[in-house]
């Protein structure tokens, strides 16, 4: 069994914001399996799907981004899984809009959702899939940027990136992190790392 934790904020006021791309990827995975409704558990909305022969639990925490670790820890503990069975999906301001980047572990890069999971797990050694949302422009702060919606010209790019990110999740489930990284990460020299 695997757990895919999409990081985002609950509530209609946050739907479609840059910070919620993790939720968007989880939603695409659920839709591909014909799952329209989730269950409330682990301080999250969850959905059970299958990718290939593997059972997968999609998790969308309702604790807001900064406390995503509670849902991750609760789900891992309940199913007696270790961190190798978890993939966190989140936004990344350090990647251009639409770029995706998989990592087997590493630093949070300032992302409070990843920080929360690392604190709950007492380690940064868990796989993550980052979806680029671009940097703030002008006088916009990081908080304002992540809570904003995508501009009209960015919408087709981010929609395609979310579908590609869902494909990357499916590859991670079926073939592991190395295969997913090889298939979906652009060459290092092509992007900034965050």
Reference 91, options 145, 154, 42, 44; nearest CA is: 145
As to burial, measured by CB atoms within 10 angstroms (0-12 exposed, 13-18 middle, 19+ buried), residue 85 is buried
Q: What pLDDT score was predicted for residue 188? A: 54
% residues pLDDT > 70 (the chain): 96
Is the Cα dihedral 50, 52, 53, 56 positive or negative?
negative
Answer whether residue 190 shows pLDDT above 60: no
Q: Are 68 and 59 in contact (CB under 8 A)?
A: no
pTM: 0.92
Structure tokens at 105: 């572990």
Q: Are 108 and 115 in contact (CB under 8 A)?
A: yes
111 is an active site residue: no
Q: Determine which one of 19, 111, 122, 145 is catalytic.
A: 19
pLDDT tens digits along 76-99: 999 999 999 999 999 999 999 999
Segments forming the whole domain that contains residue 98: 2-190
SS3 49: strand
SS3 87: strand
Q: What pLDDT score was predicted for residue 41? A: 96
Alpha-carbon Rg for the chain, nearest whole angstrom, is 15
**Residue of 129 and 186 predicted with greater confidence:** 129
- Split into its structural domains, the chain has a count of 1
The CATH number of the domain where 113 resides is what?
3.40.50.1470
């Amino acid at each position: 069994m695997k757990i895919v934790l999409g990081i985002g904020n609950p509530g209609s006021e946050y739907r479609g914001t840059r910070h919620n791309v993790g939720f968007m990827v989880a939603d695409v995975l659920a839709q591909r399996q014909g799952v329209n409704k989730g269950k409330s558990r682990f301080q999250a909305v969850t959905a059970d799907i299958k990718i290939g022969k593997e059972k997968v639990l999609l998790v969308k925490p309702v604790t807001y981004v900064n406390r995503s670790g509670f849902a991750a820890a609760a789900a891992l503990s309940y199913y007696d899984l270790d961190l190798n069975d978890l993939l966190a999906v989140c936004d990344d301001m350090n990647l251009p809009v639409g770029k995706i980047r998989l990592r087997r572990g590493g630093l949070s890069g300032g992302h409070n959702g990843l920080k929360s999971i690392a604190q709950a797990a007492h380690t940064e050694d868990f796989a993550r899939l980052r979806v680029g949302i671009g940097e703030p422009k002008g006088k916009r702060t990081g908080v304002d940027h992540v809570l904003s919606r995508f501009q009209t010209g960015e919408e087709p790019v981010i929609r395609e990136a979310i579908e590609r990110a869902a494909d990357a999740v499916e590859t991670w489930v079926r073939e592991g992190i190395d295969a997913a990284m090889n298939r979906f990460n652009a060459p290092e020299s092509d992007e900034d790392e965050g």
